[in-house]
Amino acid sequence: MAPTARRKERGGTPCPQGDFPDALSRRPRLSRAHNAGVADILVVDDNPKDCDLLAEALRREGHAVRCLPNGRDALAVMVNHPPDLVLTDVYMPGMDGVTFLEIVRAYLRFVDLPVVAITAYPESLAVTRLRELGVRDVVSKDARFLFKTLAAVRAALP
């Protein structure tokens, strides 16, 4: 039986963007990095400069960081390597941040996963939807972008 059929049979929601393994529906284990006092952070952003800037700053704070260009790639990685926190851009080609988070929140494993959204358009309807989906913070890409993002990450981690 296909994973989508099993999810429907159990009353779950099929994934609108493709069929991701049932591993997403299990509760997460804390990563080894988290156990050592360091968070494993997944940055999902299609802009390589922003990704590099965030990754360098977060690594200086002592975190393990992985960067991916879109939500589809992030979901594929999260199956086997669940992060402690996700930083996601709102507008990306392929799968945007809203669709990505809707899929993530559909699985029990990631219901409480801390997510911080980053966007150049903080007043958009997409940001309203992200807040409904439980993002911890929305950071606008402006002159204080890096400072505000690091503060949001510190606040979102336990």
Predicted confidence (pLDDT) per residue in 88-121, tens digit: 999 998 888 999 999 999 988 899 999 999 998 8
- Residue holding tokens 């939807």? 129
**Residue extents of the structural domains in the chain:** 29-156
CATH architecture observed for domain 29-156: 3-Layer(aba) Sandwich (3.40)
Per-residue DSSP letters for 91-112? S-SSS-HHHHHHHHHTSGGGTT
30 has a pLDDT exceeding 70: no
Query: Looking at residue 148, what is its pLDDT?
Result: 94
pTM: 0.76
Q: Looking at residues 9-24, what average pLDDT do you find?
A: 44
Helix (H, G, I), strand (E, B) or coil at 37: coil
Average the pLDDT over 135-153 and give the result.
93
